[in-house]
Copies of this chain bind each other. A is one copy, B any other.
C-alpha cells in the first residue's frame, strides 16, 4: 500500500495539474481543496520541488506550480520518492538494491527470479502512467 504521504503527493499534483495557467498557488489553498493537512503538505511540496516537478515562489504572489508537463511526471517516480522501491524485495530493486543476508546465490534463488519478473511487469505499468492519465480520468 502507498503511504498517506504518497497519496497526498498525487492529490497535490493533480490539483496543480488542473490549474490552467502555470501561476503560483498557495500551500493553504492546495491544503484546503485537497484536504491534506497544511504542515504535512509543506514537506511534500518541498520534496516535489527538489525533485524538479514543481517550482515555488516565496513572498507575496508566491506559491507552487507545475514545472514539468503532466505527461513527464510518472507514477513510478512519485512512488519511489515518497514510498520507496517499486520492487517487492531489495535484491531485485533497480534503485535500492541490497543483497539478501540469507541468500547463498541469487542466480539459483527461485524467489529472486520470480520477483524479478514481477518487478518488470509492475514497472511496465507504473512507469508508463503519468499525471496526465490521472488528469484525463478526472471528470
Number of interface residues of A (CB under 8 A): 40
Query: What residues on B are CB-neighbors of A109 within 8 Å?
Result: 138
A54 within 8 A of B: no
- The CA of A110 and the CA of B136, in the complex, are separated in Å by 7
Distance in angstroms between the alpha carbons of A35 and B137 in the assembled complex: 47
The answer to the question of A56 belonging to the interface, with a C-beta cut-off of 8 Å to chain B, is no
Chain B residue at minimal CB-CB distance from A122: B122
Instruction: Mark A96-139 against chain B: 1 for CB-CB distance below 8 A, else 0.
Output: 00001110000011110110011001100110010001111111
- A38 on the B face (CB < 8 A): no
B88–A2 CB distance below 8 A: yes
**Min C-beta distance of A55 to chain B, whole Å:** 22
Q: Is the interface of A mostly helix, strand, loop or mixed?
A: helix
Q: Of B1, B108, B135, which contacts A88 at CB under 8 A?
A: B1
Residue of B nearest to A113 (CB): B137
The one of B35, B89, B118, B121 in contact with A101, judged by C-beta atoms closer than 8 angstroms, is B35
Cβ-based interface call for A7 (8 A): yes
A36 x B87 contact (CB < 8 A): no
A136 CB contacts on chain B under 8 angstroms? 110
Cα of A129 to Cα of B133 in the assembled complex, Å: 28
A112's nearest neighbour on chain B, judged by CB, is: B137
Q: How far is the CB of A128 from chain B (nearest CB, A)?
A: 10
